[in-house]
Structure 1
Amino acid sequence: MWVKKVLKSFRYALEGLKYTVVTQRNMRIHFFVALAVLLLSLYLPLNKMEVLVLFVTIILVIFAELINTAIEAVVDMITEEFHPLAKIAKDVAAGAVLLTAGLAVIVGLSVFYPYLNQLFHMVWTQSPTKPNIGLAAIIVFDFFFTLLLKGWFHRMGKKEWEPSMIISVAFCVATLVVALIWNLMITFLVYFLTTLLLVLRFRMDGNRVAILFGAIIGILVAVVGFQWL
């Protein structure tokens, strides 16, 4: 009888995990990132302690997201109307997820940075380039090229594909800075800032296709233009 209860408890736990993965986009992102981290850890010569720290961090993030989902479900069950205390409960739970995700980023960078830095310099080897007027020309070109695409998609009646000018120029400048300095940590920091801008635009503007399209254009223009300098 007790074996049956144990098996049922496992089944209920798996159903909870399944529900969270199916219904929560953030949990799917966590699982995708965790899978990528685990695959990377198989490729790199990590020691046992580093692997253990990664496992613990991954479990903490998933655990926080599970608690967040449970709290949201309980709050929605109690009331479907706006209530200040309900908002506080959801915000605090989301804050816990944010803290554990931030911890995961710090741990991941601490563990992987030495290996990624070596790989970065092995794959991307180039002589440093001094800043010149050509960088300004690339940024101006990106501006007018993005503007041209905006006008073209507008005339085609596909406004949702009009690339974001701000995002395009921001990612163009960020990519040029990365190409000039050519340092892995600087690369992380620069693209972290541009990612924050990306998230802010996502919250302000629901047209994610145009925002992502702008980022891709900015990166491509910077990469191609930098090769001509």
Structure 2
Amino acid sequence: MDSLIKSHHPARHIKSFKYAFKGLFHALMNEANFRVEVVIASFFVSMGLLFGITLLEWALLILALGFLLSAEIMNTLIEEFMDHLIKEHHEGVRVIKDLSAAYVLTASITSLLVFVFIIWNYIFK
């Protein structure tokens, strides 16, 4: 029972947020692609503010951008893990990394399409 209480203590949750923000900061400081995607996301958000998009459009845009940034973090995680696990070149590792990169590409295309579909009506009214 004591361990159950400790596992739900607010301080433990705050500590886990601290680690999550450290990971986010690591991605921002060490991953060039993540920084590029943050700049792109900032541009998309700026355009949303400029055109005054609706609440539903904001929800879709934020979901798409969250998907994109999460995919990049997952890609980094997979690459780091595979590099740590297997030091020499291995065909299976190459396939795993290629699939991970394809995940980011899919998220990028999806985010771009969501942005285009939202902004299209505002530009071509």
TM-score, scaled to structure 1: 0.50
Aligned: 1:99 with 2:123: no
1:74 to 62, 81, 87: 81
Cα deviation, residue 27, structure 1: 0.5
Task: Report the equivalent of 2:121.
Answer: 114
Which residue identity does 1:71 align to in structure 2? I
Distance 2:124 2:89 in 1: 48
Q: How does 1:74-223 map to 2 (within 5 A)?
A: 74-117=81-124
1:216 matched residue in structure 2: none
Secondary structure, aligned partner of 1:30: helix
User: How many equivalent pairs are there?
Assistant: 118
Q: Counterparts of 1:46 and 1:33 in 2: how far apart (Å)? A: 17
Higher relative contact order (CA 8 A, sep 6+): 2
| TM-superposed deviation, 1:111 | 0.5
Q: Does 1:5 align with 2:12?
A: yes
Question: Which residue of the other structure, out of 21, 45, 53, is the alignment partner of 1:14?
Answer: 21
Tell me by how many angstroms 1:79 deviates: 1.6
Match in the other structure for 1:60: 67
Partner of 1:32: 39
Unaligned 5+ segments in structure 2 are 1-5
By how many angstroms is 1:40 displaced? Answer: 1.4
Structure 1, unmatched stretches of 5+, are 119-229
Letter in structure 2 aligned against 1:80: K
Q: Does 1:45 align with 2:88?
A: no
- The structure that has the greater radius of gyration is 1
Report the Cα offset of residue 80 of structure 1: 2.0
Paired with 1:45 and 1:30, the residues of 2 have a C-alpha distance of 22
Partner of 1:147: none
